[in-house]
Structure 1
Amino acid sequence: MLANGRALAQLCTDDLYEIKLSGPLFLLQDGRWRSLYGLLKANLLFLFNQQSNIGVEAPCIILILEDCYMELCDDNVTKRSYSFHTLSVFRTGRKFLFAANSYRALERWISLLTVSSLEYIAITKQSFLEQLTDVGKKT
C-alpha cells in the first residue's frame, strides 16, 4: 500500500481519530532493544523516540496494521520479558519484535493490536448487522 508518510504522521495529532492505546514499547532493532513510545490510532501504530515528541516531531516509525498477526515470543529467546512480534503475512513478510514493560501492558497491546485492522472491524460490523437482522426477524 502506498501512503503519504507526512499525511499519516499528521493523523497522530488529529483529534478525530481516537487514541486506542499509548505507552512505552521496546523494539528490537539491530540486535538491541530500543525504548520507544507507542500510539495506536485506528489501524496505525505510531512509534516515537519519546512521549514528548508527539505533535512536535514526526514519528520515527509508522506501522500499518493490515494483513498481520501478533504472536507471543519466548522471553528466554528474546532476552526481554513480555515480548511479542507482529508479522505481516501477505504484503511484506516483515516482522517487528516488541516488548511491553509489564504483563498488564502486554495484554492491552496484544488485544488492541489484534483487533485494529480495518478488515477485522468490517467483519465484526457485518456479523453485528447480521445479528441485528436476525433479531429483527424474530420480533
Structure 2
Amino acid sequence: MSYIPDDLRFAESHEWARPESDGTVTVGISDHAQKALGDVVFVDLPKVGRVLAAGDPVGVVESVKAASDLYAPVGGEVLAVNEELIDTPELLNEEPYDSWILKLKPSKRAEFDGLLDAAGYKAAIGE
C-alpha cells in the first residue's frame, strides 16, 4: 500500500504537485511510482527557464529496473530543479514526498485544479 498525502494533487503519470504559498507548484514522483521503479540511480532534470505545457516530458528517472519519463503535471516555467538529486537520486526512494524534482511557475491555475486529489489517485492506482 502506497502512502498518499491528502494535501497533494496527482497526475495519472504518477507525478505529485503541491501548491506553494508564493503561487509556485512543486513537483515530484509518488510513493507508488518510486516503488514500481525500484532503486533510483539517475535523474535527468529539466533546464531552469524552460517553459512546459501540461503533459510535456520534463526529464527521466532511471532505476536499476527501468527508465521512466517524467511529465509536467501542469504547464509553466521551470523556476528551480533539485540539484541534490544529481548526486543522491536515491532520495526519491527514501522520501518521495520530501524529495522534489522541480518547481514551476504555473501558467494556468485550472490545470492544477484538474489533477487528481488523493482519493482519485488512490482509485487510479487501484488502492
Structures share fold, TM-score greater than 0.5: no
After TM superposition, the score normalised by the length of structure 1 is 0.31
After TM superposition, the score normalised by the length of structure 2 is 0.33
Q: Which structure features the higher share of helix residues?
A: 1
Higher relative contact order (CA 8 A, sep 6+): 2
